[in-house]
Structure 1
């Protein structure tokens, strides 16, 4: 639910904590490995559900709603366990204050659109092209930061963004299994990823800067917003008519695992940020995107042209450069 830069972004990003004492190397490696497993699992499990398995289920609205329900159940359970167990103590008990709901609702609208378009993009494009299709989130982040927050971006960061945009066009032109619908969903997802990051910053004060409280509210409100959309979309009628494996336990197990993976990515991000440095976190995210693309080439045997490969490289390189530049700028500040 959301590492804002990646697309398995199912949930708001946990707070960034400055590392205290030097942590054991084994703990750092474990945190990074957990993040990689959770993050890669989200992308590949969603792809498997939406378009790549014996349980092919091309209904992104219903999939998004189901994953949100799983996430909310796990949040409520974790909040309850947090009263008794130190392991879950960082998760507060579930709450639902209507005054707070009204203030968080705009964020949830953006969140629902981001998740839905993200899953639709993943359904319609190859995983190798997924990173390219959603790479414009950096461009829109710079655009909205300037238009909405009146904050300027440095020339070096703008150069990195230009490389990403060039990679987007080169990769799109060279994509063999090109889809206008998938590309449009990717661009739309990028827009709402950028907006989501801004709205999270503006909304956190409503819940005393507690990201886990925001998780509770945002997930619950998103379910309320998305439920009527699913009902009116006609997906339920198509599912009843077209899907023959609704009574198979394997399908629901796979769907539940996908929802759990979406929830775990949030915890994994929290642990990676807590037990590593900001630089390590940045490098880990960029390296994970590269591995994600390579794994997609191996597992799905997606044909990649030289131009498509060059576009993917430019997008990943530009994204990594942008993250590095922003990190260095924050260090100077």
Structure 2
């Protein structure tokens, strides 16, 4: 999106959700006749259940929107630094929402992550305050997302596929007025209709929607069978791979301080995961 002919992250996010819902409906329909696809139950939408899922959907929409807005304003190599505070927010929200405290070693690891964030931001060549703010906001909602998935699953009988139905449907409804009020629809009509008529453009958009659908399923399963912490740590590992690929594919320039910040953020995240693993093994 950065520097492209279609810099509209909110519309891209909304379309990805539409693709995801289409895949859910198609998969559920195939499951009626083909046992291989029966893992996803038939589509349902109960108003009372939807009300209980709505807080999770709000968190989910904010996570996706801020994530794509961050990508609009920063290089992909800096993206990992801009969103490196997920673990810090996980500790904060775990204490505020669940009332659970964190060990001193884990807090030290979070301090290393924050130091990496500060150094990486200072050393970024194409620094953007907007990108950093969106990145920090996305980190906060990533942390909240893992917590709220666990809190919301009982509302759908602990069935992650039902939760995915409700979450995706509500997210489309929640995000549409945001896209409209942001002015993106008007700008698209006025400046980007040539791009909208391109077949390759819609193929690429659909591929991103399919990929996002797969990632969302993986996140649901991961949080259900592990924890919000594991989801956060795996997100950091993903960001590490993402940074390396971005440097290789997009040839983004990385300053010495930026590289140090990335390494510190990754080291702090890894150390935090090791500390929490040791704590669990000692119980």
Task: Give the TM-score, by structure 2 length.
Answer: 0.91
The alpha-carbon deviation at position 162 of structure 1 amounts to 1.1
Is the Cα–Cα contact under 8 Å of residues 81 and 265 in structure 2 kept in the other structure? yes
How has the CA–CA distance of structure 1 residues 122 and 69 changed in structure 2, closer, same or farther, with 3 Å as cutoff? same
Matched residue, 2:51: 102
How far apart are the structure 2 equivalents of 1:126 and 1:109?
Answer: 27
Matched residue, 2:8: 59
| 1:217 has 2:166 as partner | yes
The alpha-carbon deviation at position 168 of structure 1 amounts to 0.3
Q: 1:297 aligns with which of 247, 254, 258?
A: 247
| 1:235 has 2:184 as partner | yes
Q: 1:175 aligns with which of 120, 124, 131?
A: 124
The alpha-carbon deviation at position 283 of structure 1 amounts to 8.6
Q: How does 1:26-37 map to 2 (within 5 A)?
A: none
Name the structure with the higher helix share: 2
Number of equivalenced pairs: 279
The alpha-carbon deviation at position 262 of structure 1 amounts to 0.6
Matched residue, 1:27: none
How has the CA–CA distance of structure 1 residues 52 and 260 changed in structure 2, closer, same or farther, with 3 Å as cutoff? farther
How far apart are the structure 2 equivalents of 1:248 and 1:308?
Answer: 37
How far apart are the structure 2 equivalents of 1:286 and 1:242?
Answer: 36
| 1:265 has 2:230 as partner | no
Matched residue, 2:199: 249
How has the CA–CA distance of structure 1 residues 101 and 137 changed in structure 2, closer, same or farther, with 3 Å as cutoff? same
Q: Secondary structure at the match of 2:48?
A: helix
Q: Secondary structure at the match of 1:51?
A: coil
How has the CA–CA distance of structure 1 residues 193 and 287 changed in structure 2, closer, same or farther, with 3 Å as cutoff? closer
How has the CA–CA distance of structure 1 residues 123 and 254 changed in structure 2, closer, same or farther, with 3 Å as cutoff? same
How has the CA–CA distance of structure 1 residues 287 and 152 changed in structure 2, closer, same or farther, with 3 Å as cutoff? closer
Matched residue, 1:143: 92
Structure 2 unaligned blocks of 5 or more: 225-229
The alpha-carbon deviation at position 201 of structure 1 amounts to 1.5
How has the CA–CA distance of structure 1 residues 266 and 231 changed in structure 2, closer, same or farther, with 3 Å as cutoff? closer
Q: Secondary structure at the match of 2:196?
A: coil
How far apart are the structure 1 equivalents of 2:238 and 2:184?
Answer: 33
The alpha-carbon deviation at position 89 of structure 1 amounts to 2.6
Is the Cα–Cα contact under 8 Å of residues 90 and 143 in structure 2 kept in the other structure? yes
How has the CA–CA distance of structure 1 residues 120 and 285 changed in structure 2, closer, same or farther, with 3 Å as cutoff? closer
Q: Secondary structure at the match of 1:245?
A: helix
Task: Give the TM-score, by structure 1 length.
Answer: 0.78
The alpha-carbon deviation at position 284 of structure 1 amounts to 7.0
How has the CA–CA distance of structure 1 residues 107 and 284 changed in structure 2, closer, same or farther, with 3 Å as cutoff? closer
- Per-residue CA deviations over 1:282-332 (Å, capped at 9, x if unaligned) read 997655433321211121111111111000001111112222322333344
- Per-residue CA deviations over 1:22-78 (Å, capped at 9, x if unaligned) read xxxxxxxxxxxxxxxxxxxxxxxxxxxx2265xx31111111110000001101111
Q: Secondary structure at the match of 1:153?
A: coil
How has the CA–CA distance of structure 1 residues 330 and 208 changed in structure 2, closer, same or farther, with 3 Å as cutoff? farther
- Per-residue CA deviations over 1:123-178 (Å, capped at 9, x if unaligned) read 11111110110011111111111112110012221121111111000100100100
Is the Cα–Cα contact under 8 Å of residues 282 and 323 in structure 1 kept in the other structure? no
The alpha-carbon deviation at position 270 of structure 1 amounts to 7.5
Matched residue, 1:310: 260
How has the CA–CA distance of structure 1 residues 171 and 118 changed in structure 2, closer, same or farther, with 3 Å as cutoff? same
Structure 1 unaligned blocks of 5 or more: 1-49, 275-279
Q: How does 1:200-215 map to 2 (within 5 A)?
A: 200-215=149-164
